[in-house]
Amino acid sequence: MAIRVWISLFLCVCALLGSESYASENEDTQSKEFVVTLDHSNFSDFVGRHKFIVVEFYAPWCGHCKKLVPEYEKAAEILSQNDPPVVLAKVDANEEQNKALAGEFDVKGFPTLKILRYGGSVVQDYKGPREADGIVSYVKKQSGPASAEIKSSKDAEDFIDVNKIIIVGVFPEFSGEKFENFTAVAERLRADYDFGHTLDAKLLPRGDSSVSGPVVRLFKPFDELFVDFQVFDVDALAKLVEEATIPTVTVFNKDPNNHPFVVKFFNSPNAKAMLFVNFNIFDSFKSKYHEVAEQYKGNDISFLIGDVEASQGAFQYFGLKEDQTPLIIIQTNEGEKYLKTNVEPDHIASWVKEFKDGKVKPYKKSEPIPEVNNEPVKVVVADNFQDMVFNSGKNVLIEFYAPWCGHCKQLAPILDEVAVSFESDADVMIAKIDATANDYSQGTFEVKGYPTLYFKSASGKLLQHQGGRTKEDIIDFIQKNRDKAAEQSPGKDEL
Ligand SMILES: *[C@@H]1O[C@H](CO)[C@@H](O)[C@H](O)[C@H]1NC(C)=O
Ligand SMILES: *[C@@H]1O[C@H](CO)[C@@H](O)[C@H](O)[C@H]1NC(C)=O
């Protein structure tokens, strides 16, 4: 599934919680706006005149955008006093005339913030916080040099935040090709990590303090806590940094310091193993899970441990309940899921091995099979999908719906009427499935919006209904595509 959906499932809840405390601060409405409004007519010109500018693409209806407004404005005011001043701008990407512009910047969700450097010739994603103070400090750092010199232990103390990835180059002198290459890597990755350079390794908190360099020391808040590189090819060093910054086990809880690593986890092309456990009993799992993760490192599985309390979005998505925890779920890139509920620390290694060996049966999210199903429109769930849709030998029209979808609600009485009109026809069934609460074969049914209607003829021909949605339209569609009873013979069954 789309990475963006994934990440928002995990992080949205926290983003909401995280910003609540600022809600009361937005009372005074200033008359002067510090955030500069741009649109398609003046964007290039304005950006072209700036060495560094932050642009927010927003939509007026988006809740996260609205929350950002006072924070962004406050940050813009503070940054306007910076030396040199930094401009924060915004573009209404919902405005028809600005849509092409938003497209150029690959805007897929709102708000999207971008950092534009050198008149717009270099574009980076904004990966900083979304509240005023956080925006200010992130933007200050981004608009300064890519790597900051560490001259004293005080500098080092201020700079090396133990919760973050910090990359420091130790050099005998700040010149030469290695230093330049290090600076180039810092430029490239500055939106993700903080870079520093120093002449004196003794100022650094960890690692061999007698080295004179050149050496690149990466500090991280997990695993081995630091790692040294002596590679100075730009691409090779950037790659080493990216690899070293993936934790063996990604931790997901409400701590925002962990969120960049959660994003990385979901961006990985690997199968994703997620252990959800109440963090009060986390310790008993930690070392066992870590061992397993170590064992599969570089082996196409990434590992995450999530606190049950912070993972409500994920539970909903997977159709899981808290009383099934501790649980481990693996999702492959093809979307197959494998689940082990009420797992004990000692079971993890053997279960992951069984999964690797192809011995675990995929897990399907399903509502319970209804005990009575005698309304005109039949209720299909994941667990009876095969039986009711594919093995019933009937002509089946099935609606994929979402409980919150307005168009689905409009369609419901119409489908009822259609179903009633076929009630005496044993060869036709009208059915519906809550596509948010049940897994279905995403390879077979392409559901891009709700409602989506599919028709499976008695002999197994499958097609999507694209036409009108009046009662008459749908009945016509069924009559046109159904197999007549006479056409069915066991030999023709294509499934
Ligand atoms: C760009 O144009 C819009 C619409 O005319 C205007 O509201 C905005 O102030 C302009 N921005 C700049 C920087 O000139
Ligand atoms: C610096 O980077 C360039 C480009 O990646 C590379 O060709 C060169 O060998 C590097 N220099 C050193 C000393 O590694």
Q: Is the CB of 181 under 6 A from ligand 2?
A: yes
Looking from the CA of 349 toward its CB, the CA atoms found within 13 Å total 11
The token duo for 468 is 């009108």
Counting from 1 in the atom list of ligand 1, the atom nearest the Cα of 43 is: 1
State which of 143, 175, 199 marks the end of a domain: 143
- The residues, any chain, with a CB within 8 Å of residue 410's CB and separated by 6 or more, are none
The token duo for 378 is 């039949």
State which of 244, 265, 286 marks the end of a domain: 244
pTM for this structure? 0.69
Tell me the C-alpha distance between 291 and 271, whole Å: 17
Bridge partners of 250, per DSSP, are 304
- Using most ligand atoms within 8 A of CB, pick from 33, 39, 91, 116 the residue to mutate for ligand 1: 39
CATH number of residue 383's parent domain: 3.40.30.10
Residue 396 lies in a domain: yes
Q: Indicate whether 139 and 155 sit together in one domain.
A: no
Residue 368 lies in a domain: no
User: What's the total number of domains in the chain?
Assistant: 4
Q: Which residue's CA is the nearest one to ligand 2's atom 9?
A: 233
Residue 365 lies in a domain: no
Residue 361 lies in a domain: no
Q: Indicate whether 34 and 137 sit together in one domain.
A: yes
Q: Indicate whether 334 and 269 sit together in one domain.
A: yes
Q: Indicate whether 24 and 139 sit together in one domain.
A: yes
- The residues, any chain, with a CB within 8 Å of residue 482's CB and separated by 6 or more, are 395, 427, 428, 457, 458
- Using most ligand atoms within 8 A of CB, pick from 36, 38, 49, 56 the residue to mutate for ligand 1: 38
The token duo for 163 is 């919760």
Q: Indicate whether 232 and 290 sit together in one domain.
A: no
Q: Indicate whether 117 and 163 sit together in one domain.
A: no
Residue 2 lies in a domain: no
Active site residues: 62, 65, 405, 408
Residue 392 lies in a domain: yes
Expressed as residue numbers, the domain containing 473 is 378-494
Per-residue pLDDT tens listing for the chain (495 residues): 444 555 566 654 333 333 322 333 333 444 679 999 999 999 999 999 999 999 999 999 888 999 999 999 999 999 999 988 999 999 999 999 999 999 999 888 889 999 999 999 999 999 888 999 999 999 998 999 999 999 999 999 999 988 899 999 999 999 999 999 999 999 999 988 999 999 999 999 999 989 988 999 999 999 999 999 999 999 999 999 988 999 999 999 988 888 889 988 988 888 999 999 998 887 889 889 999 999 998 778 999 999 998 888 888 888 898 999 999 999 998 888 999 999 999 999 999 999 999 999 999 889 999 999 999 999 999 999 999 999 999 999 999 999 888 899 999 999 999 999 999 999 999 999 999 889 888 778 988 889 999 999 999 999 999 989 999 999 999 999 998 754 444 443 444
Q: Is the CB of 233 under 6 A from ligand 2?
A: yes
Q: Indicate whether 280 and 340 sit together in one domain.
A: yes
